[in-house]
Amino acid sequence: MIVGDGDIAKVLKESGIDTDGIIYFASGVSNSKCQGQNGEFNREISRLLKHDPKYHIVYFSSLALHYNDSTPYAKHKRRMESIINRVFKTYTIFRIGNITWGNNPNTIINHFKNQMANLQDLEIQEGNRYLLTQEELLAACKKIDINNRKTIILSGRMVKISDIVEEIIQGKL
């Protein structure tokens, strides 16, 4: 069962990966700037807890837990992982980088694409981001072992923020 209708859920549905006994929970908070003030965090917890814990759950968490874990978003993701660990018999948690596809305006790529007319004039901060492709995500999902409890780092490739902008300008992203 694939839960959700965002960019990750759409890719999973289109891939035909849906398998009996596995819940792909792709219905969570995806905006790292989210503060949870509108109940988004509680809604995600409620949605998760509606599912039978005898099934293997696949949860898409965030690499933010490794480099910025003091934000409300990162604390929420850590809480979700903790709930999954307590409630579900088996699970796979993917801590993922920034996806390179879809329409979510909160991804770094779509944020820059939405600023396309002004990209040359933007002041780009120094730093790196991890970019994850659909192919990398699906390849990892195909290797899930439903008999285990695992947290997997699925980072993709590390790219300088300025190089992300350059790839967008060149039409590579």
As a whole number of angstroms, the distance between CA 54 and CA 106 comes to 33
How is residue 125 annotated by DSSP? P
pLDDT mean over 69-94 = 94
Q: Mean pLDDT, the chain, as a whole number?
A: 91
118 CB-near residues (< 8 Å, 6+ apart):
none
The bridge status of strand 128-132 relative to strand 157-160 is antiparallel
pTM attached to this predicted model: 0.91
Say whether pLDDT at 128 is over 90. Answer: yes
| 3-state SS assignment for residue 17 | coil
Average pLDDT over residues 107-136: 86
Nearest-CA neighbor of 61 among 85, 9, 26? 26
pLDDT computed for residue 66 by the predictor: 87
User: Residue 163 above 80 pLDDT?
Assistant: yes
C-alpha–C-alpha distance, residues 7 and 30, integer Å: 10
Residue 119 confidence class, pLDDT cut points 50, 70, 90:
low
pLDDT of residue 34: 78
Tell me the pLDDT tens digit for each residue of 28-72: 888 777 777 778 899 999 999 999 999 999 999 999 888 877 889
